[in-house]
Amino acid sequence: MKHERKMKQMRKKKRRSTRRSKKITFFALYCFCILFFVFVFVAFVSSHYKD
């Protein structure tokens, strides 16, 4: 529930400033890449240890 509130606040800030919105989208894309890399790494390790 708290995370949803933060998302709403960030959406409001995006409307006010265009420069900040670009930084937020870049940061979100950067976090997504890290999460994706971690997910692939965990999947690889788990499949490796199963053998």
pLDDT score, position 15: 60
pLDDT along the chain (51 residues), means of 10: 64 63 87 96 91 65
Q: What share of the chain is helix, strand, coil (3-state, %, to 5)?
A: 95, 0, 5
Per-residue pLDDT, 3: 62
Q: What is the pLDDT of residue 23?
A: 83
What was the pLDDT predicted at 38? 97
Q: Which domain holds residue 8?
A: 2-50
Q: pTM for this one?
A: 0.47
Count of domains forming the chain: 1
